[in-house]
Structure 1
Amino acid sequence: MTGRILLAGAGLFLLGFLVSPASFAPLFQPFTRNNAPAIYAQTSLLSLTLSHLAIVAVAVAASTVVGLALAILVTRRAGREFLPLARTVTAVGQTFPPVAVLALAVPVLGFGTGPTLVALFLYGLLPVFETALAGLTGQPPAIIDAARGMGLTPGQRLWQIDLPLALPLLLAGMRLTAVISLGTATIGSTVAARTLGEVIIAGLLSSNTAFVLQGGLVVGILAVLIHHGFQGLENGVRRRMGLE
């Protein structure tokens, strides 16, 4: 109960701050110096937050579609030989620094949202792929035998049994990808993407700690809310399936 109250309080604080940031100026004023502004006002914090969330949502959706498709492919009889290749490709996306991806993508895609989406997409593939793979290959033997006894085709088994049972783990992978992408997306502002990194970078360039705190605080609260949102969804799916 205490956790839910704190979560609701954090959500209300974030909403109030984004709607009326000037009202919170006294809170951030101690972190400024030389009469610098306490609240970032060059761009609307609400619009930056919505843009940040939109970029993350698109990247997570793309990572989920591709990661799940790869997991389905390598768990089918015809695609099992591609498992090592799929693991290598998704692992490279996780180990290759996002900053390096941005540097390579800018000459091709130009400045803006495009390079950031590519970096987040590659960075988010591994968690989705591995959790989907675990969900699709970790079915109880009794369920597999029952599916065979019912005469289900491979396609019917995939849609009626495998994917529903793998959904909680898939959601866990999406949760991890979303939280990672939320923080990583801030670097997109270095290539002119409209993210909350703009506030943090402005604070660093002007030595205004208040701006850095504002950008970090919004991203941090969003990460906590998204984490608990996905977790609640996972628990709901598990309860509906009788897994809890």
Structure 2
Amino acid sequence: MKLLAANGFRLAALALLLILLFRTEWLAPLFIPLTNNNAPPIYTQNSLASLAAGHLELVLISIAASSVLAVLGGIFVTRSSGAEFLPLSRAIANAGQTFPPVAVLAIAVPATGFGMAPTLIALFLYGLLPIFENTVSGLKQVPPAVLDAADGMGMNTRQRLISVELPLAMPLILEGLKVATVINIGTATIGSTVAAKGLGEVIIAGLISDNTAFILQGGLIVGLMAVLIYDVMGLAESAITRKMGLRAD
């Protein structure tokens, strides 16, 4: 029953997202009451599908970069040679979320100019903490007995990391990746303030023109993308961990 309800929600959310992206005019009667002074109920200055694609591009590039650095950093500080750098690494990862993204944009724009670059820097920094912390936690939770068994099998440090530690830490790493991705889907809306292509353009246009219909369109698309992508990543995580034998069918 729960599975049917979950699948029904996924299909309904996906259908609504597709309508918003490709057939927004079908929903015009619902948005008209949210406008003032005969303002247009549907955002048409740019294709919503194109803006969504640009939004996801920002998220994917930033998350890929954050994942590489955070996972490598997590591996480094859980080795004996890098353990002393854990407090510093944690402080750097925390700093990425301590500074508001708007402040990062303000600092980055003079150096990189307007567009994707400052937005990617802000999103990159914002995505580090969840992935880094989950990588560290996952690697530290590997049972010592398992590590001893790997050593007893003659595995060197590299083999033990790749064949034992990372697979066992994978569920937590993937969970951190999911959280970082959802955070960045929402945060990427600020990129439109510095001319990066994304759904923040629709929301900002609505705020400037006092058009709630625009704000709702942008917000709904961002929210639906976050929910559906989180859900898909959760299914992928379950499939991966099940294949590794870390979760029962």
Q: Given the two structures, how large is their TM-score scaled by the length of structure 1?
A: 0.97
2-structure distance, mates of 1:159, 1:57:
25
Among 162, 167, 188, which residue is 1:164 paired with?
167
Q: CA RMSD in A?
A: 1.0
| Counterpart AA for 1:129 | F
Match of 1:198 in 2: 201
Among 74, 90, 113, which residue is 1:87 paired with?
90
| Per-residue Cα deviation, 1:157-180 (whole angstroms, up to 9, x for no partner) | 111111111111111001000000
| Per-residue Cα deviation, 1:18-38 (whole angstroms, up to 9, x for no partner) | 112222211211111211101
Q: Residue 29 of structure 2: SS of its match in structure 1?
A: helix
Q: Residue 76 of structure 1: SS of its match in structure 2?
A: coil
| Counterpart AA for 2:38 | N
Pairing 1:188–2:191 present: yes
Match of 1:209 in 2: 212
Pairing 1:114–2:114 present: no
Q: How does 1:65-84 map to 2 (within 5 A)?
A: 65-84=68-87
Match of 1:153 in 2: 156
Match of 1:6 in 2: 9
| Counterpart AA for 2:245 | G
Out of 9-18 and 150-159, give the one that drifted further: 9-18
1-structure distance, mates of 2:188, 2:120:
8
Out of 136-145 and 37-46, give the one that drifted further: 136-145
Match of 1:53 in 2: 56
Alpha-carbon shift at residue 75 of structure 1 (Å)? 1.2
Aligned length in residues: 244
Out of 132-141 and 172-181, give the one that drifted further: 132-141
Alpha-carbon shift at residue 214 of structure 1 (Å)? 0.2
2-structure distance, mates of 1:226, 1:71:
25
Among 218, 230, 234, which residue is 1:231 paired with?
234
2-structure distance, mates of 1:194, 1:133:
34
Alpha-carbon shift at residue 188 of structure 1 (Å)? 0.7
| Per-residue Cα deviation, 1:56-115 (whole angstroms, up to 9, x for no partner) | 000111110000010011111211111111011101111111100000000000011110
Pairing 1:175–2:178 present: yes
2-structure distance, mates of 1:52, 1:147:
43
Alpha-carbon shift at residue 243 of structure 1 (Å)? 2.5
Q: Residue 197 of structure 2: SS of its match in structure 1?
A: coil
2-structure distance, mates of 1:22, 1:202:
18
Match of 1:19 in 2: 22
CA contact (8 A) 2:134 2:176 kept: yes
Match of 1:141 in 2: 144
Out of 206-215 and 70-79, give the one that drifted further: 70-79
Alpha-carbon shift at residue 142 of structure 1 (Å)? 2.6
1-structure distance, mates of 2:50, 2:180:
23
Unaligned runs of 5+ in 2: none
2-structure distance, mates of 1:196, 1:13:
16
Alpha-carbon shift at residue 218 of structure 1 (Å)? 0.1
Match of 1:28 in 2: 31
Match of 2:103 in 1: 100
Q: Given the two structures, how large is their TM-score scaled by the length of structure 2?
A: 0.96
Quick one: percent identity of the two aligned structures?
Answer: 55
